[in-house]
Structure 1
């Protein structure tokens, strides 16, 4: 259980860990095939502040001067990172304490999660003696995108964005980074807490509460140790920014896995579900939903209600989105006669204009990207828009590939329309979510949307479900306001 006797403010503790001015690193060598070396290289590849590797034999580690002992380093570092054999952690943690280092990330495993309770208690005791606050043990580290600091083993850097991750699994704190890059998802911070011997998920929530770059918090939870405090803090933080939670300890198999993974103490699913609802948190039921919902909540304005307009170039995708919306408690209303007539005046006669709006083979792309979105956005009976069918220059280039015909000037035309759509989104302050089976590498329009904070999901259902998360959080905010 985390010891609170020597606790400082959560902002100060995690602020030091996520924005250190210098780092001492235990566990790197000139062997690139070790876990610690990979993490060390990850840090020095991007981080432009002092990093001091500690090694008993090496003079340099991949070009960086190494030190035999932490006492030999030229300054008192803000942070120690340890990727050491388990039995060495207490000794070197004490050395850091003697040096005056007050923050640590203990990557090393082999503690309470495998029954070594006494060893975990030993490092807690040492940390308390020297006033050290630490993440772990048995964690993967942290990532701070705005500081170019990635202490994990995954050598990918998502773009800067508004999602912060708090995870009791190291996997979900960093393995999704390549996926984020492929889908244009930006992050602020990612924190792996491991066994939570000291700093826990409640501390992380307190820290992220007032972090200006964090617009939404994604949490992977296997168990909550301080239930009462979690409810208090989560309820307070959720009033300021949305929290999305994925809880996996509610089944027998999930509970068993969590206990062996991070020594987490889980509880029945219905109990945790009630806690999340009590706090107004958005619950995800798989990792896909966790990041889908967080992306929408971090980037889009909240809808007033749940009345959704659907614009598509395919009947099937429109039907799927409409069906998913209603299953998720949203409404896909029939548009008014005036709105239908306005749309009918610019689309082919075979188009459907009731809602969903299916423009079928209308190749006047200004209708899809500007004119119809504006009609829907200005309609007071529509609270948000779902789009399917982001086809742009890449499609047309492929048409003319065999004809060896160059298609020039398309992208500037698209950029003009896309900029106009972004201006419409800003003017009307309604959420717009898109979906496309074409990814950002194969279609410039998809990349442009994602690079300008309009989420593009890989399937129509996922976009519709993400919209439901926006509506759910908006309703929770309204309820909280009415209960005051």
Structure 2
């Protein structure tokens, strides 16, 4: 019988009996079928059978109650360990049965599991659970009694390959212990990775397995063996998210983001109305396509012929922007479907966000039936700057560039707009997602991936509707373009009611953290960081290696910049003797070579220029961090101009390295930083952390995309 057939037989039997959990012997059958190592064991239904099994297996044994009604065996007095010999096993059998019946008189008892005791090495946990956002995920971490105390655990989407499995084993905080700290032998990493792969394959092949625990798994230099198995099954129906093909997504998104004709349903001539603001933004923003105001009570709005219904519009409409009360949306959406409008942008509130889930379900059903994709509801609209499209009731924005920004929240959307205006950040799009009744982040990523006007994507999100679809889209785009994510709700949601360690551990932000990293995105810790990453990442070239060098005019800044590098996972280059000597030729005797290179504060512009040139010229250096100190000898704008000039000169020669700068000084350094940013040098006043954080984000993306040579 094949492995899958063996597992199917066991699972069908369990479900036919109306159970949602497997007994330990059934769990062993599952493990045996997939080659997951477990100890030698047998099931005893009498004391005599327990004695016989004890003699056959030999050595020290653990006896455990087998009952579908008793999941927590130790709590019920259903586990006795260190049993040796037939007589002791017979006695332990009787005691376990008595304890179990005392714990739960009505319990159905299958028997007692007689299991070879295993130990030695380190206790780890290998598990899988069904996450409401991401579906099947696998977990690895420290096991045994430590698992829920230390929570040193990592997660990945299932299935995983060998490389991903090894990254899990080597990715926990205690990895050094497993790898052989203080001269100890390393555990068999390959054996642990193999167990992880097999568990991920099992839960992928059998999605009805809701939770799977191997805890503890004893990991040693000789291999890995699971001492305890717990398997839980889904009992209810699972609803799969609606899936759209990539071609279908692009067909709609291209028409929505670059429309030839826009209809405004609820257009108005009255100042203060949302339909009036949307019309003004479209007209005044320079949108060159057709604009069709829809209002049954008007003949003309802002110089444009108005129509009673979208059905009356003579030509094709690519996108309909809704600016009407929620109760009128279903009828208007039905008319959009009849007209063949591919996309509807729903600004109105009054749906699920106010508790009116029924109305939202109604419009979703209408949209699905009529083939209309919906953005929203409950959004501020969207901007597509390269098409001069400002389909929103908020203030207009027209600085074109390569950054696409999205937000689930209207308030965050306005913060994005304000930041963009203040910093003059060039954007390709700003999109509100609101309730995400239909179009969500993976639709947008699919569009931005192939959009030539977008070089970087930054997304604020509170949740993901279909985490697996998001990861698939993110893994494609991040090979070419950075994606920054600000995930709201970083604090632990609390362990959900779960019957397994893995299920309980998966109840907090660590799942999002690990799987977003698996997707290749850069996670921002806060809103300002998300916006600064979005602003800075497109300006920085991709580094060709890990060697980072700090050149600073202030020793104190150098120390703080070094601390920031450690925090961001950047590698400060160990300066070789010849390069050390070359730097020393330009700095005073009381300065300091090494890394950071301290040129001291009293040096003229020529010292800054010479050391920056050397940093750019030497191919062993891959990125530069500059620490500037405001002095009369080298004023801020002099530093900014010389740095920009030198960096541009080397770019013209084909030498383009990431250069970031921290400027300490009086208020004049603010203008200097603006000048540097304008010349593609990421620079900040009054902070050593921000420029290093942006450089760190660039490195995290480049590593995930496989663009840095080892």
Check the 8 A contact 1:71/1:99 in 2, yes or no. Answer: yes
2:610 corresponds to which of 363, 371, 374: 371
Check the 8 A contact 1:144/1:190 in 2, yes or no. Answer: yes
1:103 corresponds to which of 340, 343, 351: 343
Deviation at 1:469, TM superposition (A): 1.4
Q: Does 1:477 align with 2:705?
A: yes
Secondary structure of the residue aligned to 2:459 is: strand
- The equivalent of 1:141 in structure 2 is 381
TM-score by length of 1: 0.82
Deviation at 1:106, TM superposition (A): 0.6
Change (3 A) 1:147 1:453: farther
Check the 8 A contact 1:24/1:70 in 2, yes or no. Answer: yes
Name the CA distance, whole Å, in 2 between partners of 1:396 and 1:465: 25
Deviation at 1:378, TM superposition (A): 2.3
Check the 8 A contact 2:380/2:394 in 1, yes or no. Answer: no
User: Greater relative contact order: 1 or 2 (C-alpha under 8 angstroms, separation 6 or more)?
Assistant: 1
Check the 8 A contact 1:425/1:431 in 2, yes or no. Answer: no
2:626 corresponds to which of 387, 397, 406: 387
- The equivalent of 1:402 in structure 2 is none
Deviation at 1:438, TM superposition (A): 8.7
Deviation at 1:182, TM superposition (A): 2.6
Check the 8 A contact 2:445/2:477 in 1, yes or no. Answer: yes
Deviations 1:78-126 (A, max 9, x none): 1110121110111222232333322210111111222222211221222
Change (3 A) 1:70 1:315: same
Deviation at 1:64, TM superposition (A): 4.1
Change (3 A) 1:363 1:332: same
Check the 8 A contact 1:39/1:151 in 2, yes or no. Answer: yes
- The equivalent of 1:403 in structure 2 is none
- The equivalent of 1:165 in structure 2 is 405
Change (3 A) 1:48 1:446: farther
Q: Does 1:433 align with 2:673?
A: no
Deviations 1:178-231 (A, max 9, x none): 312332422222222222212121111222222223222212221122233223
1:230 corresponds to which of 459, 470, 485: 470
- The equivalent of 1:466 in structure 2 is 694
Taking the TM superposition and a 5 Å limit, the aligned residue runs for 1:201-220 are 201-220=441-460
Secondary structure of the residue aligned to 2:307 is: coil
Check the 8 A contact 1:183/1:450 in 2, yes or no. Answer: no
- The equivalent of 2:567 in structure 1 is 327
2:368 corresponds to which of 128, 142, 153: 128
Q: Does 1:455 align with 2:682?
A: yes
Change (3 A) 1:253 1:277: closer
Secondary structure of the residue aligned to 1:209 is: helix
Change (3 A) 1:480 1:166: farther
Name the CA distance, whole Å, in 1 between partners of 2:348 and 2:552: 50
Deviations 1:235-266 (A, max 9, x none): 232223222222113436899xxxxxxxxxx9
Name the CA distance, whole Å, in 1 between partners of 2:619 and 2:454: 30
Name the CA distance, whole Å, in 2 between partners of 1:305 and 1:390: 28
- The equivalent of 1:286 in structure 2 is 526
Q: Does 1:418 align with 2:644?
A: yes
Check the 8 A contact 2:346/2:378 in 1, yes or no. Answer: yes
1:49 corresponds to which of 262, 276, 289: 289
Change (3 A) 1:115 1:363: same
Check the 8 A contact 1:102/1:131 in 2, yes or no. Answer: yes
Check the 8 A contact 1:440/1:447 in 2, yes or no. Answer: no
Deviations 1:314-364 (A, max 9, x none): 333332221111122223345344434434434455544433334444564
Check the 8 A contact 2:318/2:343 in 1, yes or no. Answer: yes
- The equivalent of 1:400 in structure 2 is none
Change (3 A) 1:248 1:178: closer
Check the 8 A contact 1:158/1:178 in 2, yes or no. Answer: no
- The equivalent of 1:276 in structure 2 is 516
- The equivalent of 1:21 in structure 2 is 260
Indicate the larger mover: 198-207 or 56-65.
56-65
Secondary structure of the residue aligned to 2:485 is: strand
- The equivalent of 1:183 in structure 2 is 423
Name the CA distance, whole Å, in 2 between partners of 1:6 and 1:381: 45
Secondary structure of the residue aligned to 1:134 is: strand
Deviations 1:7-31 (A, max 9, x none): 9522111111111111111234233
Secondary structure of the residue aligned to 1:422 is: helix
- The equivalent of 2:220 in structure 1 is none
Deviations 1:122-172 (A, max 9, x none): 212222333211211112222222222222343242632222223322333
Change (3 A) 1:179 1:451: same
Deviations 1:344-398 (A, max 9, x none): 4344555444333344445643543x432221122344221122449799x979x
Taking the TM superposition and a 5 Å limit, the aligned residue runs for 1:255-270 are 268-270=508-510
Check the 8 A contact 1:183/1:456 in 2, yes or no. Answer: no
Name the CA distance, whole Å, in 2 between partners of 1:169 and 1:41: 23
Deviation at 1:267, TM superposition (A): 6.0
- Provide the aligned C-alpha RMSD in A: 3.5
The count of aligned residue pairs is: 457
**Which consecutive unaligned segments of at least 5 residues does structure 1 have?**
256-265, 398-409
Name the CA distance, whole Å, in 1 between partners of 2:268 and 2:459: 33
- The equivalent of 2:65 in structure 1 is none
Secondary structure of the residue aligned to 1:354 is: coil
- The equivalent of 2:145 in structure 1 is none
**Which consecutive unaligned segments of at least 5 residues does structure 2 have?**
1-239, 496-505
Check the 8 A contact 2:310/2:339 in 1, yes or no. Answer: yes
Q: Does 1:446 align with 2:673?
A: yes
More strand by share: 2
Name the CA distance, whole Å, in 1 between partners of 2:417 and 2:388: 14
